[in-house]
Chains A and B, each alone.
Chain A
Amino acid sequence: MTWAEKYRATRISELIISPEILKTMVSWMNRWKSGDVAKKGMILYGDPGTGKTTALSVISREVGFQLIEMNSSDRRNAEQMKLVAKMGGLYRDLFSMDDTHGGPDKLILVDEADNIFEGRSTDTGGDTGGIRALAEIVQETHNPIALTMNEYYDFRRKSSAQAIIENCEVLDFRPYTRRRTREYSAYIARVRERINQILETEKVKLSQEAIDLAIERNEPDLRAILNDLESLRHLSDAPEDDMELWDRDSPGSVYDIIDQTFRSRNYGKILQALRNKDFDTDDYIMWIDQNLPDMEVETTKIDRPFALLAYSDWLKNQVFRKQHFAFKNLAEEVSAGVGFAVNRLNEHYFKYQFPQYIRDRARIKGSGMGRRNVSEKVGRMVHLSTRRAGDMLWLMEMMRRHDKKGFTELAEKLYLTPQEISSL
């Protein structure tokens, strides 16, 4: 058993989470107990290792709920969802039958709800109906249901996610809101205290620097901190040497990397983060392009960072045009420096935007498909090829504008979808 599992909090007092979050969670569960339910579900989102699942299991036990976990990510399709989450939501719990009041008695936990439903292949247990099934379950449940996830913003964009969110209290699960505040130091102090307790129980001695470094590198991911420290345990005889071993890769999300690009003053660190990214250079440039105007306060001098970005974009194209793949990284490395070219950085919190260009392109492609479908339908009706019919679509456009009644009749006859109509 790893330290992270072995020393998982078992009581509320051991949880290292923000007091506000704790309060919200406890009151949400108590409202369920007292039959005064405002929101049936609760979404906890935040970085891995911050204690979402642990907090749920500890608090639910103290409030008096049995915990039903759905976390085997390999087999969570709509079918499985119905069998566990739905059943759990509608029926009482066999283990709390001696409890006489008869109200809600179990908490259903759907772990990592943001990545259950991706797989479309049934071999991997994927099923696109999963999220809709979950929405239904949240609506109907007689027991509290909690979802945890890492990427709330990605989740929000999925279809049917809205139906879930409407019925959920949404909680940003982070131990502190800002660095270098009293809240932050209190959090770090608690982490340190816990680490020292563990080291003492395990009879392992590590240098203070090593502990600080582990915290610095990983927080707020407690699990990673403990894993790192545990990997050093055999070095506890010679704590001075342990610094060498630090280098653990973790893939950064696009938000983190963009944030670093703009805010970090350490070019090497940005490059390191880029090495582990899971999106390509094109996306990277696009993201910077989208967010740069909001990050530069002195708008009159915005040409400087943009010039740099344009240069990196040109480099990127040269790589493909001239097949100079040796320069492939150069474009990325130049873009990584855009943050340094910014004259005065927007110090306020800013939620990075998804590139408009990519979004538009996706839409244009969608409407292109719409036109194609219409051409096909028209072609079938008048015995023309899809292409020839496509040349005649202007006529439909005219009809739509000038002869509403005729157009509606025609659209009905062709069984056009609203999307296809709007593509005209």
Chain B
Amino acid sequence: MTRIVMPVKNLKEITDLLNTVTTEVKLKLTGKGMEVRAVDPAHVAMINIDAPKESFVEYGVDNEEELAVDVERLKNVIKVSRDSDQITITKEKDKLLFEIGTINKKISLLDGNTVSTPKIPQLSSESYVVLSRTDLERGLKAAEDVSDAIRLTLTKESFRARSMSETEESELSLPADLLKEVVCAGTVKSSYPLEYLIRFIKSITTAEEIKMSFKDDYPLIIDFRFGVNRDISGTFLLAPRMEQ
């Protein structure tokens, strides 16, 4: 029987993250923990979450299993809970039973064949920056509604995130001393979809630091750790804007 117990806060964060890109996902439960991957319909944003079994309060998975769920339904379940609660998830045939304190809720599993799991592309970049989530969040919020894209520029001395339209402009500029770590030879710059970045940053509330790796006209790779004990690792990928 499959039965896992985890802090509601962790499940909420995972759900919010998935919700930024897709509506249906497969949660893969293995002997090591839970893995989830999802891509948006336009192949522009991708999320990969690895929650090791140590991040769960209880982790009872006998056989490897894939649970296909509707993200919206999952959100509804979480809505009735409080952040301090723990949530117990039990698989019952084609249903998932959620026990949150005094409330029991059941949702139907989706047909696993209709939900596909994307393959994560092999990506790597030598230049990266590590910065605090709150700094980035402020910069992104300032750029909101200015344009659909945000241009990231990284040098050894600074990190800049700039958004421009005909009438407005917004820039976040962080000198090296405000960054946790920078590795970059020369200058790298590339533009990414702002809307996805904003949705992403709004959905991670427990992560403190995020690592952004990118290079010219190459996907942005965001690595971060989150969860109540920051023991869940996540990767968020964004495709670069095509320049004419």
Residue of A nearest to B244 (CB): A142
Residues of chain A in range 88-136 having any CB-CB distance to chain B below 8 Å: 88, 90-95, 97-98, 102, 104, 106, 108
* Alpha-carbon separation in the docked complex, A95 to B45 (Å): 10
Q: Roughly how many angstroms separate A69 CA and B40 CA in the complex, as a whole number?
A: 11
Nearest residue (CB) in A for B218 is: A97
Q: Do the beta carbons of A90 and B121 come within 8 Å of each other?
A: no
Closest CB-CB distance, A85 to chain B, in whole Å? 7
The interface size of chain B toward A, counting residues with CB under 8 Å, comes to 28
Task: State the CA gap A207–B73 with chains docked (Å).
Answer: 50
Chain B CB within 10 A, most for which of A70, A92, A108:
A92
Please tell me which one of the listed residues B121, B149, B193, B241 contacts residue A97 in the complex, with CB atoms under 8 A apart. B121
Q: Which residues of B contact A (CB under 8 A)?
A: 39-46, 118-119, 121-123, 148-149, 192-193, 195, 217-219, 237-242, 244
Interface residues of A in 60-81 (CB under 8 A from B): 66, 68-70
Main secondary structure of the interface of A (DSSP, over half): mixed
A98 near B122 with CB under 8 A, answer yes
- Selected from B45, B148, B195, B242, the residue in CB contact (under 8 A) with A143 is B242
The CA of A95 and the CA of B192, in the complex, are separated in Å by 16
Interface size on A, residues (CB 8 A): 24
| Residues in chain B near residue A83, CB distance under 8 A | 40-42, 195
Could you tell me the distance between the alpha carbons of A98 and B120 in the complex, rounded to whole angstroms? 12
**Nearest CB on A from B242, distance (A):** 4
Task: Report yes or no: B121 in contact with A102, Cβ–Cβ below 8 A.
Answer: no
A94 to chain B, nearest CB (A): 5
A90-B241, A98-B121, A98-B122 known; A85+B42 contact, CB < 8 A: yes
Tell whether, in the assembled complex, residue B242 and residue A90 are in contact, meaning their CB atoms are under 8 Å apart. Answer: yes
Q: Is A21 an interface residue (CB 8 A)?
A: no
Chain A interface residues (CB < 8 Å from chain B): 66, 68-70, 83-88, 90-95, 97-98, 102, 104, 106, 108, 142-143
| Most chain B CB within a 10 A radius of its CB, from A86, A92, A94, A106 | A94
Q: When chains A and B are docked, how far (Å) is the Cα of A95 from the Cα of B116?
A: 14
**B contact patch SS:** loop
Residues B42 and A88 in contact, CB atoms below 8 Å apart: yes
Complex Cα spacing A94 to B41, Å? 11
A90: chain B residues at CB < 8 Å are 148-149, 193, 241-242
* C-alpha gap A93/B42 in the complex (Å): 8
Q: How far is the CB of A105 from chain B (nearest CB, A)?
A: 9
Which residues of B are found within 8 Å of A69, using beta-carbon distances? Answer: 41
Contact in complex: B244, A88 (CB < 8 Å): no
- Give every chain A residue within 8 A of B195 (Cβ-Cβ): 83
Whole-angstrom CA separation of A88 from B45 in the bound complex: 10
Once A93-B239, A142-B242, A143-B242 are accepted as A-B contacts, the answer to whether A84 and B148 lie under 8 Å apart by CB is: no
B residues less than 8 Å from A91 (CB atoms):
42, 44, 192-193, 238-242
In contact, B193 and A92 (Cβ under 8 angstroms) = no
16 contacts between A and B (CB under 8 A): A70-B41, A83-B42, A83-B195, A84-B40, A85-B42, A87-B40, A87-B193, A92-B240, A94-B121, A94-B237, A97-B121, A97-B219, A97-B239, A102-B217, A106-B43, A142-B242
Chain B, residue nearest A68 (CB)? B42
Which residues on A sit within 8 Å (CB–CB) of B122? 98
Selected contact of A92 from candidates B39, B119, B149, B239, CB within 8 Å: B239
